[in-house]
Structure 1
Amino acid sequence: MSALRWRQSGGRGVVGPALFNALAPFGRFVPPRWLRRPLRVVSKLGEGAYRAPPYTATILSAVLLSSSATYGAYLGGHLDGFVQGVTARTGFAVDQIKVVGNQHTSEIDILDKLELNGWTSLIGLDVEAARERIASLPWVEVAAVRKVYPHTLEIRIDERQAFALWQQGTALNVIERSGRIIAPFTGGDLAKLPLIVGSGAPDHAPDLVARIDGFPELATRVKGYIRVGDRRWDIRLDNGITVKLPEDGVDQALADIVRMDRENGLLSRDVVAVDLRILDRVAVELSPEAATARMAALKQKPKALNRKPEKKI
């Protein structure tokens, strides 16, 4: 390793000789590798062998002014806006947004939560704050915001899973399996969800739905689950028939109604309700038309019994 040699010039500078005299007491000084190049530049400046490039003074003045402006913005609390403005105008303004995973969440709502103004810089954007704002949307369960330089923002969300529509009074809301309200019902494909009605229904509906799912013939026909007195359930079928379930022994009642429908087509007849609340019997409520026809038939039956047979000639 060669030592750095210091030469005294004939009066062409004072930095080189002064530096040489300062290091003379140390004898043959060997500086570290990282310090050698800066020392050579300083030595050449002292000897007058190195000339500054053109416009050096202008560049240094610009650096001084910009650093002063930055420091002033920092002291005044405007540094974030300063950084946003500079970086946005140098090619880092957000001009492309990719949204992945949204089905019920509008892209317009997501853009509103990003709070972009057309000159928002990707560098200065606080992605954690943006993520928290997006996660506050009703359907969003998990949100992730990622910067893709130089000017793209990628949003990926996981939405909540709708379980049913809950009607309470005049309010109709979409709920999760846990009973948590997601958002008001707005139509569309959500109309295919099962309807549960009544106070306390969301807490008990998942258990009843799971029980009815064990009877596929019946499950495909159920359109509504009505909680009665927060004690028991009525289920409404697709043809308008109401099946009144008991407070206890629900599994046995479901098995009985499926068996009777399979053997006698009970749920396809002209009836309004089937009452299974009493353990050892089934009560059937006929529709008004069917009840009228049945009463007429019953009235005609005694006449037919009392009619004397005609004599044969």
Structure 2
Amino acid sequence: MDGGGRVVFAVIGRKARRLRGARLPLPAADPDGRLVLPRPFRRMARFLVNLASGRVHIPAHTGTISAVAFYAATGLYGMSVGGYTYSFAQSTTTAFGFAIEDVKVSGNNETSEIDILQLLGLDGTTSLVALDIGVAREKLAHLPWVETVAVRKVYPRTIEVTLKEREAYAIWQHGSELSLIEKNGSVIAPLRDNKFTALPLFVGQDAEAAAVDFEEQFAGWPDLKTRVKAFVRVAGRRWDLHLDNGVVVKLPETDVQRAMQELTRLDAEQNLLERDIAAIDLRLQDRTTIQLTPEAAARRQAVVEARDKAVKKAEREKQI
């Protein structure tokens, strides 16, 4: 500091800069005895000197603005710690005209718009700005029929929801429950609507997983396939066909095509499927077993008994 009270900063020369990397102690003062500040503090000291001397101009209301900014930052921090940030953003943006007023839904053939609105939690005051698209998408993805979902904000007050729904392939009966399933066997939802009754019915444990592979084997037998009311899985190994007239066709575990060809031949030659029978057993390759209905069995038994009586009567008459 010189005699006039001014702080004098020493300028480090080229030689000093070249020796900066050397670990030599810096002098506390120059040869004239004036104070030398470390380099990082020189700009700060220069600013303080200029500020004290009035050379730095401070705009009006700087103090007020700084105080407001400080209190605002403190308030935001407090809301963040207390968990009120979302509520504050919601109420603030709603007040500025960003309340959600319209929800446009597309691709929902089976999904109710009411279910979508309930999951989104819209109450007329929900802010479009504060709505978390990721959370909304995750909620809608858990709806039974939804395969994929896209949610988009359309400012200032609209949400667009686009769905791609799963496709029902068949009905699966497991116990007393009826469920709609996809082609890959995944369960979509319980059966609640009669409009799906035209879908094929698969019954039994593991029937939903084996449904597609088995039904594809009937591509060459369309007439018979239309008569099947239920495909029943037996012991997880083979299938029974329940026809529309009550006849049960028991298929083998393997070589289903051979059994189907035999069934077609018997029906063409003897009109087998229109007879009063209960079941056709095709499980054995070397024989086909026919089971009659109780009424048909009773009629057959009466015919057999009448024939036996007639034979015995003829034998008695012959002996006389």
Structure 2 length as normaliser, TM-score?
Answer: 0.71
Shift of 1:132: 0.7
Is it true that 1:152 corresponds to 2:158 in the alignment? yes
Is it true that 1:76 corresponds to 2:79 in the alignment? yes
Q: Which residue of 2 aligns with 1:98?
A: 104
**How far apart in 1 are the matches of 2:281 and 2:179?**
29
Q: Which residue of 2 aligns with 1:24?
A: none
Is it true that 1:276 corresponds to 2:282 in the alignment? yes
Give the partner amino acid of 1:131.
R
Asked if structure 2 preserves the Cα contact closer than 8 Å seen for 1:70 and 1:79, the reply is no
Q: Which residue of 2 aligns with 1:194?
A: 200
**How far apart in 1 are the matches of 2:279 and 2:66?**
87
Is it true that 1:114 corresponds to 2:120 in the alignment? yes
**How far apart in 2 are the matches of 1:89 and 1:188?**
47
**How far apart in 2 are the matches of 1:89 and 1:293?**
86
**How far apart in 1 are the matches of 2:254 and 2:139?**
46
Q: Which residue of 2 aligns with 1:238?
A: 244
**How far apart in 2 are the matches of 1:276 and 1:254?**
9
- Secondary structure of 1:76's aligned partner: helix
Q: Deviations over 1:232-255 (max 9, x none)?
A: 111111222111000111111112
**How far apart in 1 are the matches of 2:74 and 2:120?**
28
Shift of 1:66: 8.7
- Secondary structure of 1:212's aligned partner: coil
Which region of structure 1 is more displaced relative to structure 2, 175-184 or 222-231?
175-184
1:110-259 to structure 2, matched below 5 A, reads: 110-259=116-265
**How far apart in 2 are the matches of 1:193 and 1:199?**
18
**How far apart in 2 are the matches of 1:70 and 1:117?**
30
Q: Alignment RMSD, CA only?
A: 2.8
Q: Structure 1 residues 132 and 297 mapped into 2: Cα distance closer, same or farther (>3 Å)?
A: same
**How far apart in 2 are the matches of 1:214 and 1:71?**
77
**How far apart in 1 are the matches of 2:233 and 2:111?**
30
Which region of structure 1 is more displaced relative to structure 2, 193-202 or 121-130?
193-202
Q: Structure 1 residues 151 and 299 mapped into 2: Cα distance closer, same or farther (>3 Å)?
A: same
**How far apart in 2 are the matches of 1:67 and 1:87?**
22
Taking every aligned residue pair, what percent have the same amino acid on both sides? Answer: 45
**How far apart in 1 are the matches of 2:210 and 2:98?**
53
Give the partner amino acid of 2:216.
A
**How far apart in 2 are the matches of 1:84 and 1:66?**
21
Q: Which residue of 1 aligns with 2:4?
A: none
Shift of 1:80: 2.7
Gaps (5+ residues) in structure 2?
1-56, 316-320
**How far apart in 2 are the matches of 1:83 and 1:92?**
11
Q: Deviations over 1:42-97 (max 9, x none)?
A: xxxx9xxxxxxxxx99xx98998599547623542233322221222222211111
Q: Structure 1 residues 137 and 301 mapped into 2: Cα distance closer, same or farther (>3 Å)?
A: same
Q: Deviations over 1:157-211 (max 9, x none)?
A: 1111222222222332222222222222223222322222222222222111110
Give the partner amino acid of 2:154.
V
Q: Which residue of 1 aligns with 2:42?
A: none
- Secondary structure of 2:286's aligned partner: coil
Q: Which residue of 2 aligns with 1:39?
A: none
Q: Which residue of 1 aligns with 2:306?
A: 300
**How far apart in 2 are the matches of 1:62 and 1:153?**
38
**How far apart in 1 are the matches of 2:281 and 2:148?**
45
Give the partner amino acid of 2:75.
G
Structure 1 length as normaliser, TM-score?
Answer: 0.72
Q: Structure 1 residues 138 and 61 mapped into 2: Cα distance closer, same or farther (>3 Å)?
A: farther
Is it true that 1:286 corresponds to 2:289 in the alignment? no
Gaps (5+ residues) in structure 1?
1-45, 47-55, 309-313
Q: Which residue of 2 aligns with 1:28?
A: none
